[in-house]
Homo-oligomer: A and B are copies of this chain.
Amino acid sequence: MRKIKVAILGATGAVGQRFVQLLANHPWFEVTALTGSDRTVGLTYGEGCRWILPEPIPEYAKDMQVIPTEAGFEAALAFSALPAELAREAEPALAAAGYAVCSNASAHRMWPDVPLLIPEVNPDHTALVETQKKQRGWKGFIVTNPNCTSTGLTIAFKALQEAFGLRRAFVVSLQALSGAGYPGVASLDITDNVVPYISGEEDKVETEPQKMLGRLNGGSIEPAPLRISAHTNRVAVTDGHLVCASVEFEQAAGPDQAARALAEFQAPALVQTLPSAPHCVVEVRPEADRPQPRRDREAGQGMTTVVGRVRADPLFHVKFVVLSHNTIRGAAGGAILNAELLVAQKLI
């Protein structure tokens, strides 16, 4: 198979760097363009990027020249790590120009004709791509992945929704520093401290799962009836978002049943064949004190959702803890898996 040419939009930022890293040696994709801000355009990626990941910059990217974020580059697909403000204009423009945009930005996630996609959860929502192209007269399209906190949570919710139906959920997150980008959170704000607030986050966590767990109905999504209350907090952890969740089912079920439903959850057959799909979608840990961010975030190369402490809830049915790697599964890795699904579904 000839590799598909892909661009990375906003390649020098924290999520952009993860795209650069995860796309090194990708079996289906070949990076042919890296876009950046005015400050970096014209420099090589090695010069323009303050690389913050522990592993070194992939060789392929070092000498590529950073170009502006506008149509003209040679690629079929563009991964977007743009900040929401920039994504708002750039992504529709690129979609109109014919690129398939797989975006990690929040700007278009809740547009009715844009799929908010997790391949293990709602692969059929990609049907919106046709609606989108038709309605907007675009040659390309936009597909988005959810917020980093919504991601692992929605995967766990999907397993439970299928088994018992979901009515209500309380969720409280303890989110990693890398979720705020780079430089992001000031060290003086988080050392020996917790910040119980992340701008805009609670609204995303309360609404995105409804869309993803919703039903495709003609050309739009009927949101799932699940209602969510979210508190979001920043803690002094480099990577890995932890979420405490209490859930009420449609159909009563206890912790053992819930743990089984989570452990046995499988992606649809087509999704299981994708190169970035984790072998194990949800890993259920039996220990009293797991998952933990530093010890579990690398599960399945950062693509597995780790659940633990599944136990009875005094008010709803079950409570548990979910961990997901926020810059892999919850950002770049999730967007790449989405693109792989689109290829497998012959939409790219």
Contacts and interface: CB of A to CB of B under 8 A. Distances in A.
Contact of A231 (B182, B227, B235, B244): B244
Given A184-B186, A235-B236, A193 B292 contact: yes
B292 A227 contact: no
A196 B309 contact: yes
B235 A288 contact: no
B295 A54 contact: yes
A185 interface: yes
Contact of A194 (B292, B314, B315): B292
B238 A197 contact: no
A293 B227 CA distance: 30
Contacts of A123: none
A206 interface: yes
Interface string A175-186: 001100011111
A59 interface: no
Nearest to A298: B54
Contact of A292 (B177, B196, B199): B196
A88 B315 CA distance: 31
A156 to B, nearest CB: 14
Contact of A191 (B195, B238, B308): B238
A246 interface: yes
Contact of A187 (B177, B242, B294): B177
A239 to B, nearest CB: 8
Closest 8 CB pairs between A and B? A183-B186, A172-B172, A231-B244, A197-B289, A193-B294, A192-B192, A187-B187, A170-B170
Given A54-B296, A168-B315, A196-B321, 5 more contacts: A184-B186, A187-B191, A196-B289, A233-B244, A235-B236
